[in-house]
Amino acid sequence: MATWNSRGLRGSTLEDLINRTNEQYAEKKLALIQKIPTPITPVRMDKENRHITLAYFEQRSTVDYIGAVQGIPVCFDAKECSVDTFPLSNIHPHQVEFMNAFEQQGGIAFFLIFFSHADLFYYLPLRDLMIFWNRMKEGGRKSFRREELNNIYYLQKKNGFLIPYLDGIQTDLKLRD
């Protein structure tokens, strides 16, 4: 069973930025997106500071966020990458299965990737991930390079939104028609 310790805090800055963006979208009534907590069972506690120092995950998480954007069901997972090559091992098969099933029900599933070394946010539609995922399953590369990504999905900061992923959804919807 997987365990959690201080390494579990990786990506917390990204999560904070997404949470604040979600608050902004909710305040403007543009979207209602919630963080899905991963249930954990504490194993070791720092009683003095009241912090969990070791725990195990009760179940595998599917996605980090779920909600609705103007009546459209949306789910996404956030990933951080410190180089230009994203390892597909950062995405788990059960996540891909859930996201595929979510889209079959009429929702939109995607990944928000933060390339931290370049300070770039990228909206990766599930259908684009599936190109890399299927390539890996057929014995090809177990990663994808930033240069393989479609430039139209880089998210440009604007209107005070920290991570304007609704722009990515809008582009995604246009390309689905």
Amino acid at 22: N
Residue 177 marked in a binding site = no
Question: How far apart (Å, rounded) are the C-alpha atoms in residues 114 and 128?
Answer: 16
Give the integer Cα–Cα distance in Å for 3 and 119. 29
Whole-number Cα distances in Å, 132 to 12, 91, 95, 126, 137:
26, 11, 15, 10, 9
Instruction: Determine the Cα–Cα distance for residues 16 and 131; give it in Å rounded to an integer.
Output: 29
64 labeled binding residue: yes
CA 38-165-131 angle, to 5 degrees, is 80
77 is in an annotated binding site: yes
Give the annotated binding-site residues: 62, 64, 77, 95
Give the annotated binding-site residues for Mg(2+): 62, 64, 77, 95
